A = this chain, B = another copy of it.
Amino acid sequence: MNSASSNLTTNATAASGAVSPTAGSPASVTPPAAPANPANPLATAPVASASPTFSPLYQQIKALITQSLQSGEWKPGELIPSEVELAGRFKVSQGTVRKAIDELAAENLVMRRQGKGTFVSTHHEARAHFRFLRLVPDEGVPHYPESKFLEVRRVRAPADVARLMELKSGDAVIFIKRVQYFDGVPTIVEELWLPGLIFKGLTAERLVEYKGPMYGLFETEFGTRMIRASEQIRAVCADADAAQLLNIQAGTPLLSSERVSFTYGDKPVELRRGLYLTSHHHYQNELS
């Protein structure tokens, strides 16, 4: 319909100059020299009252912007077009674009910076690092642990892993096992499962040479950005393996966390099972 890629439902494609809802006169019905003709694009379709698939314009704009984020048109860390430009592209007002971006910012998909513009969020940022790392020291300031990788293998997904990641049992996955150290003290034993299809070229070497959070590497090297995660936490006893790796006695109570991380479209792209030693650290959570 429109020159731009706009594809707004039901109403859309209106809003430019003079598009009448149904068969009304082009730009009439408005007071003489009044402020303006809103050219309201929310005009419902001819007979479509009780619209079944009603979606506000700004939600449609939000979806379009999200598509551009997902497709990589604007990459993590980059500047996205200004509100004015997006408004022009989508043929809506700046206020509508603003509301769409407001929600994206609330979901941490983009970050606004007054005077500079709106940027695609990235895991390469101090700010983002602690959004998914909730284990903090009882004393002192939170900081990032060091990793030591024990295993990186291509395997077939066990049934339970496949179920949580919405794969088929036996699908190719990458299995990673590592220990994390805070100030030299082993504190976390972690096992990760990643879809083999997406993380094809992931090797132990790349993991080792990469400094910083793994989500940063995933985002940069594999174009897969984690945007949300769901975590289940329990208390368990250290088994012999964990005890040895964490240099503690078997039977020591540990925090067990099972996390499924999602990328755009609520697609699960990581299963992470961790055991946390909470003698000098704790899992910090804000309820609001």
Interface residues of A (CB under 8 A from B): 33, 35-36, 106-108, 131-132, 134, 227-237, 251, 253-256, 259, 276, 278, 282-288
Q: Is the CB of A284 within 8 A of B253?
A: no
Q: In the bound complex, do residue B255 and residue A254 qualify as a contact, i.e. CB atoms below 8 Å apart? A: no
CB–CB B35/A35 < 8 A: yes
| CB-contact partner of A283 in B228, B233, B282, under 8 A | B233
Contact B284 A255 (CB under 8 A): no
Chain B hits for A288, CB < 8 A:
107-108, 131, 227-229
B234 with A255: CB separation less than 8 A: yes
**Copies of this chain assembled into the complex:** 2
Contact between A282 and B233, CB atoms less than 8 A apart: yes
Whether B232 lies near A287 (C-beta < 8 A) is no
| Min CB gap A270→B, angstroms | 12
A95 smallest CB distance to B (angstroms): 10
A288 to B235, CA, bound (A): 23
Check B33 against A231 for contact (C-beta < 8 Å). Answer: no
Q: Closest CB of chain B to A157's CB: distance in Å? A: 21
A222 to chain B, nearest CB (A): 20
Residues of B within 8 A of A231 (CB): 284-287
13 contacts between A and B (CB under 8 A): A107-B288, A131-B287, A131-B288, A134-B285, A227-B288, A228-B288, A231-B285, A231-B287, A232-B282, A232-B285, A235-B236, A235-B255, A251-B251
Bound together, the chains give a CA A108 to CA B288 distance in angstroms of 8
**A233 and B33 contacting across the interface, CB-CB below 8 Å:** no
Contact call A229/B287, Cβ cutoff below 8 A:
yes
CA distance A89 to B204 in the complex (A): 64
Please, which residue of chain B has its CB at the minimum distance from the CB of A286? Answer: B230
Q: How far is the CA of A147 from the CA of B152 in the complex (A)?
A: 47
Which of A35, A234, A283 has the most chain B CB atoms closer than 10 A to its own CB? A234
